[in-house]
Amino acid sequence: MLIYRILMGLISPFILLRLFKLGRGYSDYSVIKALGFNQTPVKADIWIHCASVGEVLAARPLVKSWRTRNPNAKILITTMTPTGAEQVSGSFGEAVIHRYIPVDWHHSVKRFLKGVECPRLLIIETELWPNLLVQVKKKGMAIYIVNARLSERSFKKYAKFAGFSKRLMSLPDRIYAHADADAKRFADLGAKQVLVTGNIKFDLKVNPQVIQDNWQQYFVKNEFVWIAASTHEGEDIPLLEEHLVLKAQHPSAVLIIVPRHPKKFEQVYQQASAKFENVGLRSETPMEEWCKLDVLVGDSMGEMMHYFQASDLAFVGGSLIERGGHNPIEPALLSKPVLVGEHTFNFKDITESLVLSGGGLRCKNSELVGSLLLAFAKDKTLVIETGAAAYEYALSNQGAVERVLDSISS
Alpha-carbon gap, residue 62 to 307, rounded angstroms: 23
Q: Count H helices, E strands: the chain? A: 19, 16
DSSP sequence for 374-389:
HHHHH-HHHHHHHHHH
Question: Which entry of 55, 86, 125, 330 is annotated as an active-site residue?
Answer: 55
Q: How many residues does the chain have?
A: 410
User: How many other CB atoms sit within 10 Å of the CB of residue 21?
Assistant: 10
- Which is nearest to 36 in space by CA: 130, 136, 103? 103
123 to each of 59, 162, 204, 346, how far by Cα in Å?
Answer: 10, 22, 18, 17
Is 352 designated active site?
no
Torsion angle (degrees, nearest 10) of CA 217, 219, 221, 222: -150
Please name the amino acid found at residue 195. Answer: L
- Which is nearest to 346 in space by CA: 51, 135, 43, 66? 51
Rounded to an integer, what is the distance from CA 354 to the centroid of its chain?
Answer: 17
What are phi and psi for residue 81, nearest 5 degrees? Answer: -115, 155
Please name the amino acid found at residue 123. Answer: I
- Whether 202 contacts 210, CB under 8 Å: no
List strand residue ranges (DSSP E) for 162-218, in order: 174-177, 194-196
Active site residues: 55
